[in-house]
């Protein structure tokens, strides 16, 4: 059990073009979301597709590759770790977000 760690692997399609942020420190940040689909047949024999949306962030070289090659609708495989954080919105309300910090990306499809 000591070899288990926080690791996420997903294959999905980008729901929007990535948001690229170039920070004053010189680092590049890419933010995007991907959709994963799971299909099953319910007890009435109907095919049901369940879509889950995942927030993803990537830094550095990975973010630069995303900026150059990845657009809305593209299928990608990502690997990273799951993180949770909170922030205060413009009205002062505390918001919580769970996202995947991507450290590996594979472009799939054409």
| Domain boundaries of the chain, sorted by first residue | 8-107
pTM: 0.84
Confidence of residue 94 (pLDDT cuts 50, 70, 90): very high
Q: Which CATH superfamily is domain 8-107 in?
A: Nucleic acid-binding proteins (2.40.50.140)
Write out the two tokens for 38. Answer: 């799971």
pLDDT digits (tens, 9 = 90+) for 22-60: 999 999 999 999 999 999 999 999 999 999 999 999 999
Pick from 70, 79, 77: nearest CA to 20: 70
Phi, psi (rounded to 5 degrees) for 15: -90, -15
């Amino acid at each position: 059990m000591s070899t288990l760690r926080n690791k996420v692997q997903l294959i999905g399609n980008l729901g929007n073009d990535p948001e690229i942020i170039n920070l004053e420190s010189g680092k590049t940040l890419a933010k995007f979301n991907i959709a994963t689909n799971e299909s099953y047949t319910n007890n009435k024999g109907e095919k049901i597709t369940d879509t889950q949306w995942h927030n993803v962030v990537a830094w550095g070289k990975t973010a630069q590759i995303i900026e150059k090659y990845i657009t809305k609708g593209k299928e990608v495989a990502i690997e990273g770790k799951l993180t949770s954080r909170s922030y205060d919105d413009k009205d002062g309300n505390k918001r919580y977000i769970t996202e995947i910090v991507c450290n590996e990306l594979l472009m799939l499809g054409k």
